[in-house]
Amino acid sequence: MTRRAAALALAAIGWLGASFGAGEARAEKMVVSLSNHRVAINSNFSGEDLVLFGAIEPSGRGEQLHGKYDVVVTATGPRETYRTRRKARVLGIWVNVDSREFAQVPSYLAVLANRPFVEIANAETLRRLRIGLDNFLLTQRIGPDLADTVRDDPFRVAFVTLENSYGLYRESPEGVTFLTPAVFRAAVALPSQVPVGTYSVDVKLFADGQMVAQTTTSLEVIKAGFEQYIADAARDHGLLYGLATALLALLTGWIASVVFRRD
Amino acid sequence: MQIYLPIADLPLNVFLLFGMGLAVGFISGMFGIGGGFLMTPLLIFIGVPPAVSVASVASHIAASSFSGAIAYWRKRALDVALALMLLGGGILGTAAGVWLFTKLRALGQLDLVIGLSYVTLLSAVGGLMIYEGAGAILRARRGLPPVLRRPGSHVWFHGLPLKMRFKRSKIYVSAIPVWTIGFLIGFIGAIMGIGGGFLLVPMLIYLLRVPTVTVIGTSMVLTLVTMASATVMHAATNQQVDAVLAFILMVGGVIGAQFGARTGQKMRSERLRLLLGVLVLAVGLRFAYALVIEPDNLYSIRLVESGL
């Protein structure tokens, strides 16, 4: 209740400010649209580049756009739990000795902006709004607790670096381009091994180092057709699936022995 | 042409996979083995998760050993009674292997165990094969007759009870070592994703004195059943069998095996054994190298299954 009241009050102040033309009115809104809300993984899937278009508009009549905006797009994939292991030399061979669990972290994370984050807002704001891979909340299970560690924690660094090398975690200060001062596009690249599930795309609008508007859209990555069928069968009917695969093997072997029979 | 593998969750080139199937099939046909010890590491090398590799290769080996077994069955070079007895132990061993596989995967030490097993087993077996093959070639060079039976015909386990007569192989041995060998092969096969043909054949020849006529056909039957049941068990417990991947490998494998078998028949058997020994040892050393040198990245990530 109080939050809504506060929002109403803010809106009223904004409206008053705008109507009296008193100083800086912050009343922008964004309209965003994804090129595709449903990414289907089929047998020739090798990644897909999604495009997000956005337009900045004044939220009410008679208001003016500020002129210079910054946009940060954060796309997150379905949450998963990962275990990161560290190897060390034990008796001359390399063995996994230590591990840390990253609980319910995004399986895909892309942070895109139109210029380096540090130029968009100050460090404190970036941290508060969790902008960039360094500031994103990556909870680790440490004993019974769930907490994010400092950003230079070796496990955190290794996790982000590895995910980055798979193309699943990325950060780009050139990922957003302004087509006109009020229209922008962002390229969200989904790599070939992209996890299936629901993705959310969060778009934040900045002006003068402050966030002035925020909007969220979502998309779905699904396995389609035959791939879907196989994956479902393997998960839901493991035994039958195994029997079918074994039968397929026997059939292949038998056909080969018939085709290549020489006597 | 890339194809997306639904269980391995990554796209790979169909022709690369098919080519790997052909090449490994050729080798397997040439030496009368399944070729899993080559295929599993190759798949891991091109990025397929180890668990998926091991589970999917099982069905690939089942296919190639079935086509082989049919050929030997036609030539009557197959001891059904012996195969059935080995199988009893083999299925128990496979179940135990799949169980341990699941446990190790949960503990995060599966890769290490697979790596260590490859190093010890392949280096030892490869070394022995080279020693034996080179010895046979040297004897042939000097004009000595080949050693058909090893000296010291009685080993302790030949005195064990539950003796059985296997007519086609013309042997009379206790069921206990037969079941033990079957169990070991099934167990190792399920963990390492290998059929174990290259282990079983020497074991049958040197331990049970099975004649060379029936040994490969019999070994193929055992490989076939353990690998087919490993496929079913891996699918039911770990859900890591990628049917698309397995199918591409199978088709390549059975075709390659036909050409391999023709080449193999033209070669002398001790030379073949030496060559196989070198191959086995090389794969073993490759694994040893990977364990000993410092990895590029000390860290690795694995998805934690929601079920575990």
Per-residue model confidence as pLDDT tens digits over B28-79: 888 777 788 888 888 988 888 878 888 888 888 888 888 888 878 887 778 8
- What's the total number of domains in chain B? 1
Q: Nearest chain B Cα to A258, which residue?
A: B67
Q: Note whether residue B244 is domain-resident.
A: yes
Q: Note whether residue A44 is domain-resident.
A: yes
Q: Note whether residue B295 is domain-resident.
A: no
CATH of the domain at A68: 2.60.40.3880
- What's the total number of domains in chain A? 1
The dihedral over CA atoms of B18, B21, B26, B32, expressed in degrees to the nearest 10, equals: -160
Per-residue model confidence as pLDDT tens digits over A22-61: 334 457 888 999 888 888 888 778 888 899 999 988 877 6
Q: Note whether residue A172 is domain-resident.
A: yes
Q: Note whether residue B288 is domain-resident.
A: no
Q: Note whether residue B8 is domain-resident.
A: no
B153/B174 Cα distance (integer angstroms): 15
B16/B14 Cα distance (integer angstroms): 5
Q: Note whether residue B276 is domain-resident.
A: yes
Of A251, A261, A254, A248, the C-alpha closest to B67 is A254
Q: Note whether residue A255 is domain-resident.
A: no
Q: Nearest chain A Cα to B228, which residue?
A: A246
Q: Note whether residue B293 is domain-resident.
A: no
Interface test with A, best of B2, B28, B113, B254 (most A CBs within 10 A): B254
Q: Which domain holds residue B101?
A: 13-144+155-283
CA geometry: angle at A173 spanning A167 and A178, to 5°? 115
Contacts of A207 (CB under 8 A, 6+ apart): A26, A28, A66, A68, A69, A70
Q: Note whether residue B149 is domain-resident.
A: no
| Average pLDDT of chain B to the nearest whole number | 81
Q: Note whether residue A256 is domain-resident.
A: no
Of B56, B65, B57, B22, the C-alpha closest to B39 is B57
pLDDT at B148 over 70: no
B32/B71 Cα distance (integer angstroms): 12
Q: Note whether residue A263 is domain-resident.
A: no
pTM of the model: 0.73
| Cβ contact A250–B66 (<8 Å) | yes
Question: Is there a contact between A183 and A53 (Cβ–Cβ < 8 Å)?
Answer: yes
To the nearest whole Å, the CA of A172 is away from the closest chain B CA by 23
* ipTM score for this prediction: 0.77
In Å, what is the CA distance from A23 to each residue of A17, A59, A181? 7, 16, 21
Using CB atoms and an 8 Å cut-off, which of residues 171-210 of chain B contact chain A? none
B82/B166 Cα distance (integer angstroms): 6
Per-residue model confidence as pLDDT tens digits over B196-252: 778 888 888 878 878 777 888 888 888 888 888 888 888 888 788 888 899 999 999
Q: Note whether residue A6 is domain-resident.
A: no
Mean pLDDT by 10 residues, chain A (263 residues): 51 45 59 88 83 86 75 92 86 82 89 91 89 86 76 86 89 91 91 88 90 90 81 84 89 85 62
Of B236, B245, B196, the C-alpha closest to B90 is B196
B44/B59 Cα distance (integer angstroms): 16
Of B150, B119, B164, the C-alpha closest to B288 is B119
Structure confidence at residue A20 (pLDDT): 41
In Å, what is the CA distance from A57 to each residue of A11, A28, A38, A53, A63? 16, 6, 27, 13, 9
Residue B258 near chain A (CB below 8 Å): yes
Across the interface, which of B65, B67, B239 has its CB nearest the CB of A234?
B239
Q: Note whether residue B6 is domain-resident.
A: no
Structure token digits, residue B90: 């083999």
Would you report the helix, strand and coil content of chain B in percent, each value rounded to 5? 70, 5, 20
Burial per residue of B177-188, b for 16 or more beta-carbon CB atoms within 10 angstroms, e otherwise: bbbbbbbbbbbb
Q: Which domain holds residue A111?
A: 27-78+107-133+153-241
